[in-house]
Each structure stands twice: as structure tokens, then as C-alpha cells.
Amino acid sequence: MGDAIESVQREVRVFRPPASFSARARVKSLDDYCKLFRDAADNPESFWGDVAKEFHWFTPWSKVREWNPPNARWFIGGKTNISHNCLDRHVAGGRRNKAAIITELESGEVQTLTYDQLLREVCRLAHVLKSRGINAGDRVGIYMPNCAEAAIAMLACARIGAPHTVIFGGFSAQAIADRLNDCKAKAVITADGLRRRGRTVDLKNNVDQALTNVPSVEAVIVHRNTGDNTPMKAGRDLWWHEAVEGKPRFIETEAFDAEHPLFLLYTSGTTGKPKGILHTTGGYMVWAAYTARSVFDLREDDVYFCTADVGWITGHSYVVYGILANGATSLIYEGAPTWPDAGRLWSIVERHGVNIFYTAPTAIRTFMRLGDEWVKRHDRSSLRLLGSVGEPINPEAWMWYHRVVGDERCPIVDTWWQTETGGIMISPLPGGTPTKPGSATLPLPGVAADVVDEHNRPVPPGKGGRLVIREPWPGMLRGIYGDPERFKNTYFPSGGIYVTGDAAHRDADGYIWVLGRMDDVVNVSGHRLGTAEIESALVSHPSVAEAAVVARPDALTGQALVAFVTPRGNATAGEELRRELGKHVTREIGKLAVPADIRFTNALPKTRSGKIMRRLLRDIACGNASVGDTTTLEDYSVLQKLRESEE
């Protein structure tokens, strides 16, 4: 049976876009979507050329794309500047006094920057960078709280053509040093600290520690955020607020080639050292902007709130670049989502009149566990669209999001994409695409997604396979920094087909259901199953808050399933619940998916972006000491607790 993957999901609910939503949407029907999809597929050059024309190009491109697998180039010969397109274009075009970024700090303080003010701050910081010898092509590390200054830092780098690499503020000194060394960064922009759960976390100290091992860094610019004391190293460190004093409020934009590197963003692979994913200027700009506008159906007066940190690709594309390129208002929240209580995000929605809310399934499941009351006590009538990203969203969580957060009124866009894809690839267009809980639905225009077997042949509907993209798209990664071999082997092992590394299946309507990473596919008695579906069945039980399923070797069945289950607050872990869950999975999927072993735990090991680290759970299930990279693990103590729960 080769490596065919079986899909066992039986979700049949369908939700059509509300007529009132469709009436005002950019894409109003499935027919509208199909037409766009066909246009982009039949004539990609004119389709993307037309989208790109909306932006300012200092020199027009001579050719839209060139594809020599694995190397793509878009808007060849074109010169542009993404900071100009995110700022100057709007200041000149009637949005000068519109809010560009609203930041709410954990302390409750709110700061608003209009497009004009944001442009000024970006220009002043760009002057500082220049004065410290940072020029086009020099790499700059950004290690910041989630606040407007992080966006200013990114846009200032982009303005002068210095590729940035944002390092998530939760990473350790070692993780910072690894990333800065890999790209030989010349400067770092950081802050004294950030606020988390009422306390401050010292960021500058981590940078200082990291820099003892990073010879390339010559300058450190420090934003005063918490006001905590930090030692400043003479000749290297300068306070942001002092450095910008007296700097001119404008700096001419330089025109950069469409393929000029815009940023590197490190993703940790399952093994080995993190990969510096490279995105360039023109194609990324067009992709981030087009997808933001289409998927979020952005309107001029929207307040858009994405809970992702700027340290992740979601923060890059859908807090900063894609949102500002559309002249929209992006709301940023600095702190912990459950601080000072579990109602914080809903209170933000209420107080700022948020219209579009974009978050991750891990957050949705957390709020589900904390109880509806926290959501319902806040007025959410301003919301009109909800989004999800980062992991497969299990239908139970989807339904809760729809029912409780969205009051059954707001369409949900479940957006599938990756750091590598630069922007959303598979997602409903909310005015046109009927949604099914748990499916990211259909590929966006320009995305030639397919589900294939090991010979790259499409698999029939309902069968699982590998999710691949058959054609290049403007926002695709252009490489792994310094490692063209790894780039080719990882993403384009057989010519021009991009391998996502995810498993998926497509239903009879062509809807795509992502089953998780290929590495997480398990093989039980010859049945290859995606873990997401089994986890989803477990989580649909009222006593389960979260679940992760992995396999351990088994002499009889090849592999046996081990489930790590976090019960809901009021449920009792024990033999009875174990038996009950076995019966539940039998009912939902069938006997073959019943875990051989169910372990109860208070928490699952997660990356800082909220993804469950199944690799570590596999090690625990197999009784191995954990190996590989754990620098992205959110809470090390969770691992210890899981081991202790083994007997």
C-alpha cells in the first residue's frame, strides 16, 4: 500500500458566508473566487503584474517572473522599497492622520501612531542606523517586545535595505547568539525589557550575554520600554531615544531591486541548526499585501488585531508588512493573553472596537478551557471576521470560536501557510467560500496546491498524501541563508515541486484538510494516520482540553499510539476517563485509532509560538532521553512533569 495516508475525519458541517458579509465583501461568491483562481492559474504574469502595479516602483519591472527551480525571481528589474509602500504612499495618499499602529502595553498604556508619525519614527531610526555605519545588505538583529518599536525597527531596516532578522523576545542568549552568528549581524536593536504577567523580563541582559560570542555586532540600539536599569557598553550601546534626538524627520527612500533581501527569519527544523529563511522585497510585498487584503477582506475603517508576536512570520506578514501595505490599522498587544485575567484579549476587542481578530488554535483551546464567561462578559459586537493560524484547528475548537467568540455571526478563516511561504496559501475568502470546521478549504489564487503520493501523483479524494505546491508564487522563500544545498534538498528534492512537509487530504469538494507534519504521521497495523485527526477526536470529548498523539515502536502493530491528554479543569484523570476516551475514539474514528497508552498531564510541551513539540513527546513515549534542539521549548518543567507521569 506504499505510503498512502488514510484520513478518518468525518466532519460534515458546512457554514456559508452570511449574506450581509458577502454583500460588502471584495469576493462575494464562490464563483468570484473561482474566476480569480482561474485568472491567476491561466495567466500568472498578467495577474500578478496587475496586483503589483498598485504599489510604487521606482523602476518598473521588465518581466514578471523567472523560474529555474529551485530559484525563482519575481518582478525582474523592478526597483521598489517596502517601507515607502507601507508609509510614504499612504501619507501622500490621504491616510496621513489615520492610525497605523495601536499598541496596548501589558500595563494597560495605549500608544497610537498615525501613518505620518510612524513614517517620522522610521526615518529617524533609519538615520541612526546609517550614522552607525549600517548600509544596504548589512544584517540587523531585532530582539524586542511586541510593540510598535519592533515594527519601527523592521521598517527602518527595510528602508535602508538592511535585511533584518527578528528573534522572538522569549529566546535565550544562546538562541540569539546562534542566529546572529549564522547571519553575521552587524547591529542589534533591542529593549531594556518586556512585560510578562506583571513582571519585567530583561531583554538587554540576554543580548549582552549573547554578544560575548558574536564578534560581528558593532552597535546595539536600546529602546527604553520598562525603564529598568541596564548597563550600557560604551562605544557599542546607545539609547534609542537619545540617538534619534535631532535626527531629521525624513530620509529619502532608496530604491532596491525586487530581489534585494528583505529579511531572514529562523525556523528550527526538527533536527539540527535553525534555518534562516530568506525573503526578498518585491514578491514578498505583493504576496503579503494581496493575501492580507483578500483573506481578511480589509476595509478602510477596520481595526485589525493579530495576537501573533512580531518575532514570528505571522507578525511579519500580518502585523506589520501586509497590513500596513494596505494602509490598515494594526493593533499590537505586548503582554500575556491571560493577564491580569482571562478576559484580556476580549477586553481589548471591546475597548478598541476590533473588527478582525486573528489568533492560533492553541490560544483558542486555552480560552475554551478557561470558560465562556470570560469571553461573554465583553462586548464583541464590533467583530466581523475571525482567523486561525499555526496548526490544524480541531472542529471542536472551531465550533467554539464560531459560537462563543463570533456569536455565530462571523466567518472564520482557517489560514494554512508557513514561514517559507511568506503569506497565506490555503484559506477561505470570507465572503465567498463556504467553510467546514477543521478545513483550511481552498488554495488562494496563484497557489497550485496538490495532495500527492510518493511519486508526486495526485491522490484521489479522501485519501491522504503529501501537500505540495506545483508552481512558484511571489512570496515564496528564496533560500536558506548560506545553505543552497539544504534549501534544494528540503523544499525541492525533485525539481520544481515545493514540498511543504505537511500531510493532507482533499475531499470531494476539493477542500484541503491538513493532517499535520509528515514527520508526525503514524503507522498502526499498516494504517498510516495523521495525528491531528486522532487528537481532534480526543479533544471533542467534554473532559479533554488538549491532546497530542505520537507513536512508539510496537512489536505487534509496528507502531502503537501514545496519547498525552490534558483534562479540563473539572475532569478527573484516571482509569475511568481512560476507558471512556477509548470508547469515544472508537465511536469517532474506529478501534484502530484508540491509543494503546493514554497519559494524563497538566501541560504539553510547546514551542513559544504554541505548537506542540511532538518530537519531544515521541522521545518520552519511547523512553529516550530528549535529544535535539529544545531552545524553542516554552517551559522546560513540562518535560520533567511528563516523564514523572510515565508510570
Residues near ligand PRX (CB under 6 A) are 267, 313-314, 389-392, 414-419, 440, 500-502, 514, 517, 609
Is the N-terminal amide bond of 70 cis, ω within 30° of 0? yes
Q: Toward ligand PRX, which CB reaches closer, 324 or 440?
A: 440
Give least dist CB 386 to ligand PRX, A: 13
- CA–CA dist 320, 322 (Å, integer): 6
Q: Toward ligand PRX, which CB reaches closer, 357 or 416?
A: 416
Q: Toward ligand PRX, which CB reaches closer, 7 or 253?
A: 7
CB distance 436 to 462 below 8 Å? no
- Cell numbers representing residue 98 in the block: 489615520
Task: Give the closest residue to 479 by CA, choosing from 205, 239, 284, 636.
Answer: 284
Listing DSSP states for 283-346 in one string gives: HHHHHHHHHHHHHTT--TT-EEEE-S-TTSHHHIIIIIIHHHHTT-EEEEE-S-TTSSSTTHHH
Cβ contacts of residue 458 below 8 Å, gap of 6+?
Answer: 450, 451, 452, 465
Q: Toward ligand PRX, which CB reaches closer, 49 or 501?
A: 501
- CA–CA dist 295, 293 (Å, integer): 6
Q: How many CB atoms lie within 10 A of CB 475?
A: 28
Give least dist CB 427 to ligand PRX, A: 8
Q: How many CB atoms lie within 10 A of CB 477?
A: 23
CB distance 236 to 218 below 8 Å? yes
Cβ contacts of residue 212 below 8 Å, gap of 6+?
Answer: none
Q: Toward ligand PRX, which CB reaches closer, 304 or 374?
A: 304
* CA dihedral sign, ordered 532, 538, 541, 543: negative
- CA–CA dist 324, 306 (Å, integer): 13
Q: How many CB atoms lie within 10 A of CB 246?
A: 8
Give least dist CB 468 to ligand PRX, A: 12
Give least dist CB 445 to ligand PRX, A: 18
Q: Toward ligand PRX, which CB reaches closer, 258 or 323?
A: 323
CB distance 288 to 422 below 8 Å? yes
CB distance 562 to 642 below 8 Å? no
- CA–CA dist 289, 293 (Å, integer): 6
- CA–CA dist 560, 538 (Å, integer): 16
Task: Identify the burial level of 295 via C-beta atoms within 10 angstroms of its C-beta, where 0-12 means exposed, 13-18 middle and 19 or more buried.
Answer: buried
Give least dist CB 537 to ligand PRX, A: 16
Give least dist CB 210 to ligand PRX, A: 22
Give least dist CB 269 to ligand PRX, A: 11
> Residue 419 to residues 471, 583, 625: CA-CA distances in angstroms?
17, 38, 29
Give least dist CB 316 to ligand PRX, A: 10
Give least dist CB 556 to ligand PRX, A: 30
Q: Going by DSSP bridges, is the β-strand pair 140-143/164-166 parallel, antiparallel, or unpaired?
A: parallel
Residue number of the CB closest to ligand PRX reads 419
Beta bridge partners of 393: none
Give least dist CB 518 to ligand PRX, A: 9
At CA 285, angle to CA 124 and CA 487, rounded to 5? 110
At CA 287, angle to CA 161 and CA 23, rounded to 5? 140
Residue with cell 477596520: 302
Beta bridge partners of 143: 190
Q: Toward ligand PRX, which CB reaches closer, 182 or 414?
A: 414
Q: Toward ligand PRX, which CB reaches closer, 155 or 440?
A: 440
Q: Toward ligand PRX, which CB reaches closer, 193 or 437?
A: 437
Task: Give the closest residue to 370 by CA, choosing from 537, 544, 568, 548.
Answer: 568
Give least dist CB 609 to ligand PRX, A: 6
Q: Toward ligand PRX, which CB reaches closer, 543 or 609?
A: 609
Q: Toward ligand PRX, which CB reaches closer, 82 or 360?
A: 360
Q: Toward ligand PRX, which CB reaches closer, 149 or 391?
A: 391
**E strand residue ranges, 354-442:** 356-359, 385-389, 412-415
271: helix, strand or coil: coil
Give least dist CB 296 to ligand PRX, A: 14
Q: Toward ligand PRX, which CB reaches closer, 288 or 303?
A: 288
Give least dist CB 39 to ligand PRX, A: 25
Distance, CA of 546 to chain centre: 20
Q: Toward ligand PRX, which CB reaches closer, 81 or 359?
A: 359
Q: Toward ligand PRX, which CB reaches closer, 416 or 491?
A: 416
DSSP state of 233: -
Give least dist CB 521 to ligand PRX, A: 12
Give least dist CB 389 to ligand PRX, A: 5
